[in-house]
Chain A
Amino acid sequence: MYLYEIRGILNAEVIAGKSGMDREVDFAFGADLMSDVLAFVNERTVLLTGLTNPQVVRTAEMMDLTAIIYVRGKRPDAASLELAEENGITVMCTPYTLYTTSGMLFSAGLKGIDELGVVG
């Protein structure tokens, strides 16, 4: 699924990495626990989170994640946005909660990482 499609589905605002909207992702992963992101996730994945500290962007950088979507109307701080721009990570904000955001993307065909067999 392309990032511009995700923006449309989630009625999201793009606040960093605007030039990378034509990139495609295979999976989404929702978590406020960065330890789990570091343990399970791979590239071509979009992270859905409500956690807004710079460590979220650092984690995305280490894992080569394509995009971060902040849910529940949360907005990251300026340091996070700067880090995201520096590393070519697209950042979006959506007013929907994590559950609703996940459901909307899943219904539209974006899969979770469960089928990779990396969790558990």
Chain B
Amino acid sequence: MNMEDMVKLNYRVCPEDFVKAGDASSNTKKVLKKLSIPSDITRRAAVVTYEAEMNIIIHSVGGEITVNISTKKIEIIAKDWGPGIPDIDKAMQKGYSTASNQVREMGFGAGMGLPNMKRCSDEFLIESQKGKGTTVTSTIHITN
């Protein structure tokens, strides 16, 4: 990959589509592997994308995930169109969750998603506006 080269991936994520859950993350991971990104960095990016994908499916009215890959960093932007997070501080607490029983039965909704995304990121930004939606931006630096 040349310095100027940048790979951009974009996925539409539909609410409550548990059948396709993981498709965007799986594809992202395969692309990163193909680009020979180190495996620990690929894994961190895969976890961030997967948690973001599950969050959009579980909590939102729909959204999209964009992944920008350059030689220096991976940027994952997860954007949804609502309903927004009323209290971001609470949402960032380990164990805080508003997920339904159905989601919990699938093994998710333990309140670990956002903290885990932050843990896997070098830079992590979350913005949310009630009624408008949430955007989570995660940046992972590529170091060999």
| Range for the number of chain A residues in contact with chain B | 20 to 34
Tell me if A108 is interfacial: C-beta within 8 Å of chain B: no
Contact status of A58 and B50, CB under 8 A, knowing A32-B107, A53-B107: yes
Please determine whether B50 and A38 come into contact, CB atoms closer than 8 angstroms: yes
Give the CA-CA distance A59 to B115 in the complex, in Å. 17
Tell me if A9 is interfacial: C-beta within 8 Å of chain B: no
- State which residues 28-86 of A face B: CB under 8 Å: 32-36, 38-39, 42-43, 51, 53-56, 58-59, 61-64
The total of chain B residues at the interface (CB under 8 A) is 23
Please determine whether B110 and A33 come into contact, CB atoms closer than 8 angstroms: yes
Residues of A within 8 A of B (CB): 32-36, 38-39, 42-43, 51, 53-56, 58-59, 61-64
Residues of B within 8 A of A (CB): 18, 21-22, 25-26, 29, 39, 43, 46-47, 50-51, 106-113, 115-116, 119
